[in-house]
Structure 1
Amino acid sequence: MKYFLTLLILSLIFGCQPEKEDTEKPKVVFVIGDEEYRSEESMPMLAKILKREMGAEISLCFSVDSAGYIDPNRLDHIEGLEALKDADLMVMFARFRELPPEELKYITDYAESGRPMVGFRTATHTFLYKNDTTQKQMNNEWPTKVFGQQWITHHGHFEDGHGKLTEVSILPEADTPILNGVEPFEAYSWLYHVDGGDWKLAGDSKPFLEGRSLKSNHEMNGDLDKYPLTNPVAWTKTYTGTSGKASRVFFTTLGHPFDFKIENMRKLALNGIYWALGHEDEIPENGINAELTEPYEPNNSGFGNEFKTGIKPILIP
């Protein structure tokens, strides 16, 4: 009788214990510093979906002015990069930054650590150190070895934001869960050249999406032997830095602010993040739920004061 009473008491005690919190939720840090493509709007939108779907801990690092307002035109500062020290994933959407050494080190230390990375569009030219010769390798060499290519050229802006410029299709040999639920679509992004002519994707890059330029300056100039109308727009690769551990890398050259209005683009981005984190088994056949958490109406791409002013960095609890 005492034995059964003891079992009953233990079952009541342990049965009433609250479930342990899942402490394995990844920490994802978005590095946002691009003065052309409104990454200050698209990346927080993606981050909110990621928070809803994965429960990830999110840090958003923006270029800000001296008063703390988001200013993508400020090239020499991105706030909050220390979050990369214990991050599980770095998502990079930056363009031609010239960060001071102490800020740059957070990014390069992360890249060398063997942890995964995701890059969007202008991450092929994340940095531009014009005068500091000690950092010249960051301009072209670094993005090539880490993400797969440097800045080369594109097929032309044309109707920026007022028409779709790239037809996106799935390569026949493609076999990756990043494509789950992703159908061919037309993107607002003008096609970047990353492969063909004198250029090749670096390392073990494996393209799985191809873009076809619907309007092309290079076609008009008779340069298609150097810059063909079709080029990879998404790939995976690895990067092995000084840690000796291979990082998973997902990259796409798409990223016009209006591209992210398209569900297929959002699925591609979210699936890529899951894959980079090693959570590919969690990607359903129809892809990660890419339904928006709130209306997404970004400003169009463009330089100067085309971004929404007077906005301070947001926190995603």
Structure 2
Amino acid sequence: DLAVFYLRWRQLPQEQLDHIDAYLKSGKPVMGFRTTTHAFNFPAGDPRVRWNAFGEFAFGAPPGWGGAAKHTHYGHKSTTDVTIIPEAAKHPVLTGVAPAFHQSSWLYRVLPDYPAKGATPLLMGKSVNPDKEAIDNPVAWTWTNQWGGKAFMTTLGHPEDFQAEAFQRLIINAIHWELGKPVPKKWKGKMAINVPYGHPK
């Protein structure tokens, strides 16, 4: 099994959270995309408020938007240059991934406190056209959570990112790695993903 999360500021009922809780505690692997760093947004005093830190306890990411971790981004008009972190170049998840590529995602700030201790950063992002002073930040990492579950997290995941061959291969590799399967050494080529992106008019 592999649970994939792409959430943003949800307020799920307790019975649904119970399923997620049981899955996490089973030690099975999880994969998270982008806004999953701030997956839930329960108000102070709500008995479910601990879930606001889901990104932290499931993925070793900041525990929600803003806060003490100062989790933020560098503007909706910015994009990100991505490079492989040299120390991680031989990690199976990076098999065949281009050493440098560009993504539409605006860069998320997770440093200096995240990724969490014990994580293996894989990719570094540099903000292009930021709206404030920017520092390079990890944009993908692996981690083992407190229940022994493998975690793969990326702060990339803008809809247009999925059209990039390097990102496609990264995700396919990560799925295989998390499931304990050999990462494909051969690649059939870029997949056509032509889903319109934009808000309804």
Fold conserved (TM > 0.5)?
yes
Aligned partner letter, 1:127: F
Aligned length: 192
Match of 1:180 among 87, 90, 95: 95
- Equivalent pair of 2:59/2:153 in contact (CA under 8 Å): yes
- Equivalent pair of 1:117/1:248 in contact (CA under 8 Å): yes
Q: Tell me which moved more, 260-269 or 150-159.
A: 150-159
Match of 1:214 among 128, 144, 148: 128
Q: Please give the alpha-carbon distance, in whole angstroms, between the structure 2 residues aligned to 1:97 and 1:290.
A: 35
Match of 2:183 among 275, 283, 295: 283
Please name the residue that 2:38 is paired with. 125
Q: Which runs of 5+ in 1 are unaligned?
A: 1-87, 160-164, 307-317
- Equivalent pair of 1:145/1:202 in contact (CA under 8 Å): no
TM-score for the superposition, normalised by structure 1: 0.57
Match of 1:100 among 13, 16, 26: 13
Q: Please give the alpha-carbon distance, in whole angstroms, between the structure 1 residues aligned to 2:198 and 2:127.
A: 18
- From the superposition, tell whether residues 132 and 97 of structure 1 become closer, same or farther in structure 2 (CA, over 3 Å): farther
Matched, 1:143 2:55: yes
Question: What's the offset of the Cα at 1:212?
Answer: 0.5
TM-score for the superposition, normalised by structure 2: 0.88
Matched, 1:109 2:22: yes
- From the superposition, tell whether residues 284 and 148 of structure 1 become closer, same or farther in structure 2 (CA, over 3 Å): same
Higher Rg of the two aligned structures: 1
Question: What's the offset of the Cα at 1:204?
Answer: 1.2
Matched, 1:252 2:139: no
CA distances 1:215-254 after superposition (whole Å, capped 9, x unpaired): 11222xxxx4xxx1x100000000123xxxx111111111
Please name the residue that 2:80 is paired with. 166
Over the residues paired in the alignment, what is the CA RMSD in angstroms? 1.8
- From the superposition, tell whether residues 132 and 105 of structure 1 become closer, same or farther in structure 2 (CA, over 3 Å): farther
Match of 1:232 among 126, 132, 138: 138
Q: Please give the alpha-carbon distance, in whole angstroms, between the structure 1 residues aligned to 2:160 and 2:83.
A: 18
Aligned partner letter, 2:48: Q
Q: Which runs of 5+ in 2 are unaligned?
A: 66-70
Q: Please give the alpha-carbon distance, in whole angstroms, between the structure 2 residues aligned to 1:120 and 1:263.
A: 17
Aligned partner letter, 1:128: N
CA distances 1:47-96 after superposition (whole Å, capped 9, x unpaired): xxxxxxxxxxxxxxxxxxxxxxxxxxxxxxxxxxxxxxxxx110111111
